[in-house]
Amino acid sequence: MNDRLKILKNIAILISGTGSNMEAIINDTLSNDHPGIVKFVLSNRSDALGLLKAKELGIKTFVFPVNRTNSLENFEKKLLKLLTNKKIDLLCLAGFMKVLSKKFLVNFKGNVLNIHPSILPSLKGLNTHKRILKKKSITHGATVHKVIPELDSGKILGQTTIKIRKGDTPDKLAKKLIKKEHYLYIKVIRNIMTGKNKIIQID
């Protein structure tokens, strides 16, 4: 085990809520063939349910609040210091509801990934399940992409799709999509950590 730990790449995860994708990532890294290890989970909210899940899985957790007395700028300074100290190679956003600044992204030397619930470049931003139903589309999905200063605009690394059925609601779409999100995210993480450039496509 010690020999394996020496060659693993370090992962950190940012969350703001339940940590569903976070949990999938952590569980996947616990397999013996995984090229990475999750060093910590960090949230901007102390009440994020994902923090409890991470602790149960044996992962170190941190909370750096963002509120009236703690600015996003201060959050990013503390985060950058922690990422440097822990020698993080890959930062994964998993339901993290803050937009990282250009200054932070320039200063962090590792890769930053995000999973977005739409088939990018369509439907950037929030409330994608509701918005896709308004468009009367027959297809929905999720995208894992690199994070750049422009919102939801970084290089696409993988996508998955689902069919929209009659009677679907935003909640039903979210429930149908979430397991495919999990599978897509963990596949992309393995891909990027082993230096592969192939875009993952899951139908």
- Give the residue numbers marked as catalytic: 116
Dihedral sign for Cα 10, 145, 71, 67, please: negative
Q: Are 177 and 135 in contact (CB under 8 A)?
A: no
Could you give the CA distance from residue 74 to residue 76 in angstroms, rounded to a whole number?
5
Question: Which residues, listed in sequence order, are joined to residue 161 by a DSSP beta bridge?
Answer: 141
What are the structure tokens assigned to 70, written together? 């703690």
Q: Are 149 and 102 in contact (CB under 8 A)?
A: yes
Q: Please name which of 42, 200, 39 lies closest in space to residue 115, comparing C-alpha atoms.
A: 200
Taking a C-beta distance cutoff of 8 angstroms, is the pair 41, 18 a contact?
A: no
